[in-house]
């Protein structure tokens, strides 16, 4: 275990990048992160220190944003690189980084998917198709509650999407236990705060467009659907995911509708969740006693899970909440780093 780990961050000026820098800067077992400029990430032109874009960081000795070079990373002794970048950048940059012996935690969707049919939604154009294919196979999907052992040895860690984290964690225990009638189909109705769309403004994310409104988008076409299918072992068409945009800054609430394979008492369903997540510090099981709300998990690394069971015991509604910038992005990335380098999963996140 390296007690003075040196991290580097690309894309620090985005919302997830900011949270990542903030967490790393206060992490007790890592050095102050090096920040590198990425033009294609929408980094603010002329910003040479992150505190210029985010004055709330002022007074911490500065967070300079440097021009990237491999030599600078070597001289600094960088141990792990975080990419809060567009997937195009990650797809292009990661092969050489891995070849140079760096460990990479990628917050984009570049390396999350194993099945080529699911990757098609990204339209990747790889300079070296063979190298990319090998990395696709080698990348570890960074959901600690499901893949902790594989994460520990990962060279390339694909941080999950925010929506998939909320849905996979809610469904995995019951699907693995055989409680869910997957052939009947699962409906996932998810709502996210506007920060989930990233920092670069668009006509759909301006305040005047979002305030006082609530809208669905990317119905039947959201690129996170493949993650859910692969991680839950479901066939295409067995899960309908519909995302919605909430007029709030941050947070996700997923409402998931399932038909059970047979009538099951609520106590048994709750016990399944509690046993599955026993010893997992960043999942809180509310059970049937109380349904989670966005405000409970906002500004934390928790994913909160609760459910309601129909009187006939055959249908259940699962509610899952998390902060899309923390457990859905930067917090989970730090949780993964902790596992990769032998720290406690809670380190730097409490």
**For each of the chain's 350 residues, which pLDDT tens digit applies?**
445 899 999 999 999 999 999 999 999 999 999 999 876 544 555 678 999 988 988 877 889 999 999 999 999 999 999 999 999 999 999 999 999 999 999 999 999 999 988 888 888 888 899 999 999 999 999 999 999 999 999 999 999 999 999 999 999 999 999 999 999 999 999 999 988 767 776 767 777 777 888 888 888 888 899 999 999 999 999 999 999 999 989 999 999 999 999 999 999 999 999 999 999 999 999 988 789 999 999 999 999 999 999 999 999 999 999 999 999 999 999 999 999 999 999 999 99
Burial of 337 (0-12, 13-18, 19+ CB in 10 A): buried
- Pairing verdict, β 315-322 and 252-259: antiparallel
Q: What is the pTM of this model?
A: 0.93
Angle at 253 between CA 252 and CA 258, to 5 degrees: 135
Closest CA to 65 of 84, 103, 38: 38
Number of other CB atoms surrounding residue 322 within 10 Å: 34
Topology classification of domain 7-159+329-340:
Rossmann fold (3.40.50)
Residue from 276, 312, 330 nearest 82 by CA = 330
- Please tell me the distance from the alpha carbon of residue 103 to that of residue 100, in angstroms, as a whole number: 9
Taking each helix axis as running N to C, give the angle between helix 87-99 and helix 129-138, from 0 to 180 degrees, rounded to the nearest 10: 90
List every span in the chain annotated with CATH 3.30.360.10: 162-322
**At a CB cut-off of 8 Å and minimum separation 6, what does 151 contact?**
140, 142, 144, 157, 336, 339, 340
Q: Which CATH architecture has domain 162-322?
A: 2-Layer Sandwich (3.30)
Q: How far is CA 52 from CA 47, 297, 345, in A?
A: 6, 29, 31
- For residues 173 and 277, is the Cβ–Cβ distance under 8 A? yes
Question: Please, which residues have CB within 8 angstroms of residue 289's CB and are 6 or more apart in sequence?
Answer: 306
For the residues of 13-69, what is the DSSP string, one character each?
A: TSHHHHHHHHHHHT-TTBPPPEEE--GGGTPPTT--BHHHH-GGGTTSS--BEE---
Chain region(s) in the chain for CATH 3.40.50.720: 7-159+329-340
Residue 162 known to be catalytic: yes
Catalytic residue selected from 162, 188, 303, 321:
162
Which of 54, 135, 58, 143 minimizes the C-alpha distance to 92? 135
Residue with tokens 């780990």: 5
Single out the residue of 37, 38, 27 nearest to residue 2, CA to CA.
27
Non-local CB neighbours of 46 within 8 Å, separated by 6+ positions: none
Q: Which residues make beta-bridge pairs with 106? A: 83, 158
């Amino acid at each position: 275990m390296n007690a003075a780990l040196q991290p580097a961050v690309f894309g620090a000026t985005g919302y997830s990048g900011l949270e990542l820098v903030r967490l790393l800067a206060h992490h007790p077992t890592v050095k102050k992160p090096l920040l590198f400029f990425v033009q294609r990430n929408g980094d603010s032109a002329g910003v040479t220190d992150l505190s210029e874009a985010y004055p709330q960081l002022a007074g911490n000795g500065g967070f300079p944003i440097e021009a990237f070079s491999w030599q600078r990373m070597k001289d600094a002794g960088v141990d792990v690189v975080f990419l809060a970048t567009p997937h195009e950048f990650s797809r292009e940059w990661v092969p050489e980084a891995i070849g140079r012996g760096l460990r990479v935690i990628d917050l984009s969707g570049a390396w999350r998917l194993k099945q080529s049919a699911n990757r098609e939604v990204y339209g990747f154009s790889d300079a070296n198709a063979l190298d990319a294919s090998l990395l696709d196979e080698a990348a570890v999907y960074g959901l600690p509650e499901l893949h902790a052992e594989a994460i520990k040895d990962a060279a390339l860690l694909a941080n999950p999407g925010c929506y998939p984290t909320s849905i996979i964690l809610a469904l995995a225990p019951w699907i693995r236990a055989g409680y869910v009638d997957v052939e009947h189909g699962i409906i996932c109705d998810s709502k996210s705060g506007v920060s989930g769309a990233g920092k670069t403004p668009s006509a759909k994310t301006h305040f005047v467009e979002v305030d006082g409104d609530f809208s669905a988008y990317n119905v039947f076409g959201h690129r996170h659907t493949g993650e859910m299918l692969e991680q839950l072992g479901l066939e295409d068409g067995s899960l309908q995911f519909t995302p919605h945009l909430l007029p709030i800054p941050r947070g996700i609430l997923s409402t998931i509708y399932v038909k059970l394979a047979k009538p099951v008492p609520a106590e048994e369903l709750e016990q399944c969740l509690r046993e599955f997540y026993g010893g997992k510090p960043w999942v809180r099981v509310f059970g049937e006693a109380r349904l989670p709300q966005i405000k409970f998990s906002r500004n934390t690394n928790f994913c909160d899970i609760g459910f309601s069971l129909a009187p006939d015991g055959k249908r259940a509604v699962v509610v899952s909440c998390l902060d899309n910038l923390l457990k859905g992005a930067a917090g989970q990335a730090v949780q993964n780093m902790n596992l990769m380098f032998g720290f406690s999963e809670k380190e730097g996140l409490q």
